[in-house]
Amino acid sequence: MNAAILYSALSWLDLFGIGVFAISGALVAARNGQTLVTFAFFALVTGVGGGTVRDLLIGAPVFWVQDSRVPILCLAIALLIWITPVKFWRPAAVDWFDAIGLAAYSVFGAAKAMQLGIDPVPAAIMGVITASVGGVIRDLISGEPSIIVRPELYVTAGALSAFTFVLLAQTGMPGILAALIAFVAGFILRALAIIKGLSLPAYRGAGSGE
């Protein structure tokens, strides 16, 4: 597999994931009745948070500092949500936009790490970090319970996308096809978690008296 070609072919996932996460951040600000400045801050932090941590960990230039399209996109999305009537955004919209971004950004984050020579398993983990940290920061600054400590599946769905992509890419499958399969797998799992409340079993040792 030519990692450089693969990364280039999947680069559309970057702006897509950023945009979707920025929407989820702006919607949290809308739900809390915040100002336009807060909308912009939430959109930017949610959109770039995971990718920033990923780039710092793998020693790459922080992507949005090098590409002005990224902050412009996040700020434009914040303004769009700000001027859009609230009736267009259902309460569950944050979860669904977040689910799309989670699956897309898990794949892209893993692809970028692989392009920079990171081994497959750490590359997949970078995909999970890329997809989940922005939402964690968003929840933290909004004072809401973090998505990663809620019972329904979240990080697991991102891990499914990231590890599926890395595994399929390692078999020689074309990058776009591997990305599509991995994206759909992670999104479906997260969608089922939203609709059905799917969750992993919790640790029970603390209450067992042992």
Task: Kindly report, residue by residue over 139-184, the tens digit of the pLDDT.
Answer: 899 888 887 777 778 999 999 999 999 999 999 888 889 999 999 9
Q: Is the pTM of the predicted complex or chain greater than 0.75?
A: yes
Residue 193 has pLDDT above 60, yes or no: yes
Residue 117 has pLDDT above 80, yes or no: yes
**How far apart, in Å, are the Cα atoms of 78 and each of 30, 37, 95, 186?**
10, 9, 17, 26
For residues 134 and 48, the answer to whether their CB atoms sit within 8 Å is: yes
The pLDDT tens digits of the residues spanning 11-51 come to 676 788 899 889 989 989 988 889 999 999 999 999 999 99
pLDDT confidence bin for 126, thresholds 50/70/90: very high
Q: Which helix (H) or strand (E) holds 64?
A: helix 63-66
pLDDT confidence bin for 210, thresholds 50/70/90: very low
In degrees rounded to 5, what are phi and psi of residue 199?
A: -150, 160
For residues 186 and 157, the answer to whether their CB atoms sit within 8 Å is: yes
- The helix/strand/coil state of 51 is helix
Query: Inter-axis angle of helices 12-31 and 120-142, to 10 degrees?
Result: 20
Alpha helices (runs of H) in the chain, residue ranges in sequence order: 3-9, 12-31, 36-58, 63-66, 69-83, 93-115, 120-142, 155-170, 175-196
Residue 101 has pLDDT above 60, yes or no: yes
